[in-house]
């Protein structure tokens, strides 16, 4: 299932996407971070809410950490590990994906 064009994600930033398949709806966040592409489910491990209040605003003010807008958890972009906030030690759910012809495609069930 195609998520988005990799070119739509600025380097060292992230973009969100919502995918629907019948009754299922899932949110994802695609990161380009230090030359690496990473896909996480857009779901905080603390309470399960999407990370971004403002669409596509996933990073904190420093630009160094992914931020959960709901209660302020901070996550390492490259590992998804929560290093501050109510879910320290939990990790974002990392997804398998492929990139073909510049399109990031989910390589696991929705
Ligand atoms: S839901 Fe993310 S820190 Fe609470």
Q: What is the pLDDT of residues 8-43, one digit of tens each?
A: 999 999 999 999 999 999 999 999 999 999 999 999
Pairing mode, strands 13-21 and 2-5: unpaired
- Asked if residue 84 has its Cβ within 6 Å of ligand 1, the reply is no
Number of domains comprising the chain = 1
Ligand 1 centroid to 100 CA: how many Å? 33
CATH number at residue 11: 2.102.10.10
Do residues 74 and 85 touch, judged by C-beta distance below 8 A? yes
The model's pTM is 0.96
- Residues 31-76 pLDDT 10s: 999 999 999 999 999 999 999 989 999 999 999 999 999 999 999 9
Question: Which ligand 1 atom sits closest to the C-alpha of 87?
Answer: 3
Which burial class, exposed, middle or buried, applies to 63 when counting CB atoms under 10 A from its CB (0-12, 13-18, 19+)? exposed
Domain that holds residue 100: 2-106
- Asked if residue 47 has its Cβ within 6 Å of ligand 1, the reply is yes
Ligand 1 centroid to 86 CA: how many Å? 7
């Amino acid at each position: 299932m195609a998520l988005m064009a990799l070119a739509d994600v600025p380097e060292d930033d992230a973009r969100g996407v919502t995918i629907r398949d019948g009754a299922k709806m899932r949110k994802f966040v695609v990161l380009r971070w230090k030359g690496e592409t990473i896909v996480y489910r857009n779901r905080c491990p603390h309470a399960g809410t999407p990370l971004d209040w403002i669409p596509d605003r996933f990073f904190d003010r420093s630009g160094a950490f992914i931020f959960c807008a709901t209660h302020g958890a901070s996550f390492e972009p490259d590992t998804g590990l929560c290093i501050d906030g109510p879910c320290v030690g939990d990790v974002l759910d990392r997804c398998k994906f492929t990139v073909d012809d510049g399109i990031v495609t989910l390589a696991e069930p929705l």
